[in-house]
């Protein structure tokens, strides 16, 4: 099964896994993109699956406004088919340099 | 962004401003090797970003190898303004006849750069401005024309204690023009030489202070600098460097992040509770801090995510804020904002769900989100839809609240969290 993958302006990629989309009844990613996302970059192809309706080069130069609406809507109203891979190389390097765990990785005391 | 003295002098040398011959040293052996190639007597200058370096003993002189070894040993054991001395600039000791002050700075009231000259150099210019303001001469610079040689010459001669000999005055004026060119070429906010010295062999920049516009650093890859917020008199932390990348090439809104207390030592000393912090609007940051601090909470970072940033900016900067190990809470507070806050909310939610996969985004520390402005109702509803606001220590506030409400809500959430969980291990 195919996938849609495109670059975003800030660095990184968005991937939409069509093997999950075929099970999706809502196609909420398209609704969200065309309502809250100012870019309107997603539509449905002839098979009823989400795809880019604008040129990839335009998407990469900012037509995708990276509001992440498709990602979150798909998680709770779709089939969790969307992956944002946003580059943060320096952040990964910073984590490796840290002597202590970042707060999100710390455990709560016994009451938790 | 403030550069080290040696970096500033490299830019000066490229522009043609006379600077002393110099070498960098990272240990005693390198100091001795540098001294041998330069020749005694030498001056050893610790390379730190902190001011008042001379008064702190960070500049030492040596007449011979024994003194050089001793001075280097002293310097490499020093901390100045909390920064360990790791680099020493070795230069010949100059035969100084006169010390002057020259700078190019920005004057916001004129909305122009200005050239500043004072015949009393080598001393604190702020002090001179207090005690002898008449000694400081300034002229505004038309950026379309640049600093003209004759303007610099006039500024120097009309503010000299005694008129300089023509050769010296011409050299100083040339240096001034070249300093201005450095300021413009590299998007400076301050280019300062204190002192510019007159020696028997000519004029020379004995020191260099170069501050660049933070937002323009990415325009100068040739400098090999990380694009970060101004961190004052200390080098940027690795998290600040990571955050600097967020805005580097993407100018859709901002994510300005600076650590106020990177190692948590100040908060510990003050016996306060460290928290992570993100605001829409710098004014809101300040007023929220004013409300938090009397309650015993201290934001260990500043972050301004405004100007309608993308969700992905919020996603990235939220991950950075929540990677600070010491924080025991997090606040997001928007001003009454025109930016589309549902985009902001989505970025934060995406980060929370990634960082806390086991609880589907519910955090392990207390959090308050105050969304006030465009699409604030949608922003709040998104937290409800994703179940994050169901957490017993998460509070959501809307447009009918003020900064004090956010601080009080955080205090209440923190107490619930502490009582329920005992806090972090």
Interface residue B274 vs chain A (CB under 8 A): no
Cβ(B169)–Cβ(B156) below 8 Å: yes
Residue B400 tokens, joined: 């009918």
- A111 lies in some domain: no
Percent of chain A predicted with pLDDT > 90: 84
The CA–CA distances, whole Å, from B252 to A91, B68, B115, B255 equal 20, 52, 34, 10
Cβ(B300)–Cβ(B324) below 8 Å: yes
Nearest to A68 among B315, B356, B363 (CB): B315
Mutation target to probe the B interface, by most B beta carbons within 10 A, among A41, A87, A92, A104 is A104
Which residues make Cβ contacts (< 8 Å) with residue B356, sequence separation at least 6?
A104, B362, B363, B364
Q: Could you read off the pLDDT of B221-280 as tens digits, one per residue?
A: 888 877 677 776 678 899 999 999 998 888 899 999 999 999 889 999 999 999 999 999
Q: Say what the pLDDT of residue A112 is.
A: 47
Q: Could you read off the pLDDT of B324-356 as tens digits, one per residue?
A: 999 999 999 998 878 899 999 999 999 999 999
DSSP three-state, residue B316: helix
Contacts of A102 in chain B (CB under 8 A): 322-325
How large is the C-alpha radius of gyration of chain B?
Answer: 26
Instruction: Determine the distance from the C-alpha atom of residue B291 to the mean position of all C-alpha atoms in its chain, rounded to a whole number.
Output: 25
**How far does the CA of residue A44 sit from the closest CA of chain B (Å)?**
23
Nearest to A94 among B242, B252, B328 (CB): B242
The CA–CA distances, whole Å, from B107 to B124, B138, B145 equal 19, 10, 17
Interface residue A25 vs chain B (CB under 8 A): no
Pairing label, strands B188-199, B98-107: antiparallel
- A110 lies in some domain: no
Chain B: residue whose CA lies nearest to A86: B312
Report H helices in chain A: 18-21, 28-35, 56-58, 69-77, 89-97
CB A98 to CB B242 under 8 A? no
Cβ(B194)–Cβ(B121) below 8 Å: yes
CATH tag, B21-92: 3.30.1490.20
Per-residue pLDDT band at B128 (split at 50, 70, 90) = confident
Torsion angles phi and psi, residue B125, rounded to 5: -65, -30
CB A107 to CB B425 under 8 A? yes
CA atoms within 13 A on the CB side of B140: 8
Contacts of B349 in chain A (CB under 8 A): 72
Nearest to B312 among A68, A106, A109 (CB): A68
- A112 lies in some domain: no
Assess whether pLDDT exceeds 80 at residue A36. Answer: no
For the domain made up of B98-215, the CATH class stated in words is: alpha beta
More confident residue, A70 or B54: A70
Task: Report the C-alpha gap between A96 and A92 in whole angstroms.
Answer: 6
Assess whether pLDDT exceeds 90 at residue B156. Answer: yes
Cβ(B3)–Cβ(B212) below 8 Å: yes
Task: Report the C-alpha gap between A32 and B378 in whole angstroms.
Answer: 13
Q: Say what the pLDDT of residue A37 is.
A: 61
Which superfamily does B237-421 belong to? Succinyl-CoA synthetase domains (3.40.50.261)
Number of domains in chain A: 1
Which residues make Cβ contacts (< 8 Å) with residue B372, sequence separation at least 6?
B334, B335, B336, B337, B341, B397, B398, B399, B401
Assess whether pLDDT exceeds 90 at residue B309. Answer: yes
Torsion angles phi and psi, residue B279, rounded to 5: -130, 155
**How far does the CA of residue B342 sit from the closest CA of chain A (Å)?**
8
Domain that holds residue A79: 3-105
Q: Say what the pLDDT of residue A38 is.
A: 64
Q: How many CB atoms lie within 10 A of CB B126?
A: 8
Average pLDDT in the B140-167 region?
95
Q: Say what the pLDDT of residue B338 is.
A: 86
- Ordered by start, the domain boundaries in chain B are 21-92, 98-215, 237-421
Interface residue A61 vs chain B (CB under 8 A): no
- A79 lies in some domain: yes
A3 exposed, middle or buried (CB, 10 Å; 0-12, 13-18, 19+)? Answer: middle
B378: enclosing H helix or E strand: helix B376-385
Interface residue A67 vs chain B (CB under 8 A): yes
Q: Say what the pLDDT of residue B36 is.
A: 94
CB B313 to CB A10 under 8 A? yes
CB A102 to CB B313 under 8 A? no
Assess whether pLDDT exceeds 70 at residue A110. Answer: no
Q: Could you read off the pLDDT of B85-122 as tens digits, one per residue?
A: 999 999 999 999 999 999 999 999 999 999 999 999 88
Contacts of B244 in chain A (CB under 8 A): 90
Which residues make Cβ contacts (< 8 Å) with residue A6, sequence separation at least 6?
A13, A14, A52, A56, A59, A60, A64
DSSP summary character for residue A59 = I
Residue B218 tokens, joined: 């990415």
pTM of the model: 0.76
Nearest to A104 among B312, B315, B323 (CB): B323
């Amino acid at each position: 099964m195919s996938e849609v993958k495109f670059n975003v302006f800030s660095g990184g990629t968005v991937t939409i896994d069509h093997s999950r989309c075929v099970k999706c009844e809502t196609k909420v990613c398209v609704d969200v993109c065309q309502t809250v996302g100012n870019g309107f970059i997603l539509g449905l192809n002839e098979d009823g699956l989400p795809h880019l309706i604008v040129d990839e080069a335009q998407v990469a130069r900012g037509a995708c406004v990276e509001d992440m609406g498709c990602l979150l809507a798909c998680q709770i109203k779709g089939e969790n088919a969307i992956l944002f891979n946003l580059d943060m190389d320096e952040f990964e390097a910073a984590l490796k340099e840290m002597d202590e765990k970042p707060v999100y990785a710390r455990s709560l005391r016994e009451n938790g | 962004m403030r550069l080290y003295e040696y970096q500033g002098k490299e830019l000066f040398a490229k522009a043609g401003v006379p600077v002393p011959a110099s070498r960098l040293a990272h240990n005693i052996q390198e100091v001795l090797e540098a001294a041998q190639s330069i020749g005694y007597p030498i001056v050893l200058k610790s390379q730190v970003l902190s001011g008042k370096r001379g008064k702190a003993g960070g500049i030492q002189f040596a007449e011979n190898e024994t003194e050089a070894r001793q001075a280097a040993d002293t310097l490499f054991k020093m901390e100045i303004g909390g920064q360990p001395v790791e680099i020493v600039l070795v230069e010949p000791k100059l035969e100084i006849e006169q010390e002057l002050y020259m700078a190019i700075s920005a004057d916001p009231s004129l909305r122009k750069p200005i050239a500043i000259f004072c015949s009393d150099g080598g001393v604190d210019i702020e002090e001179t401005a207090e005690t002898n303001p008449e000694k400081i001469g300034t002229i505004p610079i038309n950026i379309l024309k640049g600093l003209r040689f004759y303007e610099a010459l006039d500024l120097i001669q009309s503010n000299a204690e005694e008129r300089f000999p023509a050769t010296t005055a011409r050299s100083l004026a040339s240096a001034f023009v070249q300093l201005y060119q450095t300021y413009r070429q590299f998007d400076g906010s301050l280019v300062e030489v204190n002192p510019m010295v007159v020696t028997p062999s000519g004029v020379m920049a004995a020191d260099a202070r170069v501050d660049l516009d933070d937002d323009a650093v990415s325009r100068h890859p040739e400098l090999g600098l990380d694009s970060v917020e101004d961190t004052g008199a200390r080098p940027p932390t690795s998290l600040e460097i990571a955050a600097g990348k967020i805005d580097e090439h993407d100018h859709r809104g901002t994510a300005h992040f600076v650590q106020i207390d990177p190692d948590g030592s100040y908060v510990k000393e003050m016996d306060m509770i460290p928290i992570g912090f993100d605001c829409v609007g710098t004014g809101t940051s300040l007023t929220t801090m004013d409300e938090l601090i009397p309650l015993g909470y201290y934001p260990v970072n500043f972050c301004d995510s405004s100007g309608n940033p993308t969700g992905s900016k919020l996603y990235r900067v939220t991950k950075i804020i929540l990677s600070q190990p010491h924080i025991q809470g997090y606040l997001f507070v928007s001003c009454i904002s025109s930016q589309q806050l549902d985009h902001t909310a989505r970025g934060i939610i995406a980060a929370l769900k990634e960082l806390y996969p086991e609880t589907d985004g519910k955090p392990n520390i207390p959090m308050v989100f105050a969304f006030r402005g465009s699409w604030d109702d949608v922003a709040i509803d998104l937290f409800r839809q994703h179940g994050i606001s169901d957490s017993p220590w998460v509070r959501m506030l809307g447009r009918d609240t003020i900064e004090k409400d956010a601080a009080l809500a955080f205090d209440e959430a923190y107490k619930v969290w502490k009582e329920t969980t005992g806090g972090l291990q």
